[in-house]
Amino acid sequence: MKRSKVFSLSVLAALLGFNIAAHADTTFLNVSETDVSTGAHKYTFSLAPGDYSLYLTDVSDSFSNLGVTVGQGVTNFGKLTLVGSTNSGVLNFTIPTGVSDTYSAIVYGKTSGSGDFTLVVSSVPEPATSAMLLAGLGLFAALRRREKS
């Protein structure tokens, strides 16, 4: 009985780890940075079609009106500006199917002295993946319940 329980927990942990690893590991190759103007930097990277979340954080809390615009050429997917005492935010955007290309994020803001910010773009898991995970957890719960009786 104990061996079965340990096996079930290890399988469950492996499934959860696989699901997290499948969507949390967004690695960008060939990211380039250029100065656009005073107080603005442009980051260029490649993205495949899908849903993404961009996280912007004012690490040193020294920016006023820190913001980011994500787009491709003249097409903007969205804009996020942190004003007042807000020091972090999220911008959700979608790259249409059939469009896999180079995109850019222009980060801008005025600092008092110097400042640090964090910019993270990560893919959003598809609903089907979450549904499969829930179905698997339900199956484990049913097996566990059957095992007890």
17: tokens are 């780890």
In a domain, 143, yes or no: no
pLDDT by residue for the chain (149 residues), tens digit each?
433 333 333 333 333 333 333 333 344 444 555 655 667 778 787 777 888 777 777 766 666 677 778 777 767 777 777 776 677 777 777 877 776 677 777 777 766 555 555 666 666 666 666 777 777 888 778 888 887 77
Radius of gyration of the chain (CA): 21
Which pLDDT does position 37 carry in this prediction? 62
Whichever domain contains 80, its CATH number is 2.60.120.380
Domain membership of residue 54 as a residue range: 27-124
DSSP E strand stretches across the chain: 32-37, 40-47, 50-58, 63-72, 75-82, 88-95, 101-111, 117-123
In a domain, 14, yes or no: no
Q: Which amino acid does the sequence have at 127?
A: P
Q: Please tell me the distance from the alpha carbon of residue 5 to that of residue 10, in angstroms, as a whole number.
A: 9
Residues contacting 87, CB < 8 A, separation 6+: 57, 58, 61
Long-range contacts of 126-129 (CB under 8 A, 24+ apart): 126/51, 129/19, 129/22, 129/23
Number of domains in the chain: 1
In a domain, 136, yes or no: no
In a domain, 12, yes or no: no
